[in-house]
Amino acid sequence: MSKTTIESVLYLDMSKILEKMLNHLERFEAMEDKFHEISTMASAPLGERWLDIDTICKELNLSKKTLQSYRDEYRIPYSVVRQKIYFKASDINKFLMKHYKKQLGSGKAK
């Protein structure tokens, strides 16, 4: 026969409260992670915009053939949706930064 004491009742109540608090904390942490993900995407200059061939060629003054070569050589990732090709703006930025050449000194390239 078990004896119910005030301590055992309080312990059970506190355990339930602690369990609820932990559940709320887990949900709060999940919300915090989602907020961080959204704020990171929003802070990116071009975000995750998708650009078509015409836009990229116009903005970067590239020919369609040059962009086709970059795709064929797997230099820039792309997606095809309903027979139309799209590039992530962030991938275009990475490609540009990878090939960025900073000139120092007199301005003449060596």
pLDDT level of residue 94 (50, 70, 90 thresholds): very high
pLDDT level of residue 38 (50, 70, 90 thresholds): confident
Find out whether 11 and 19 touch, Cβ atoms under 8 Å.
Answer: no
pLDDT over 80 (residue 44): no
- pLDDT, mean over the chain: 85
Range 48-63 average pLDDT: 92
- DSSP annotation string for 6-73: HHHHHHHHHHHHHHHHHHHHHHHHHHHHHHHHHHHHHHSSSTT-EEEHHHHHHHHT--HHHHHHHHHT
**Domain definitions of the chain by residue range:** 9-43, 50-98
Q: What architecture does CATH give domain 50-98? A: Orthogonal Bundle (1.10)
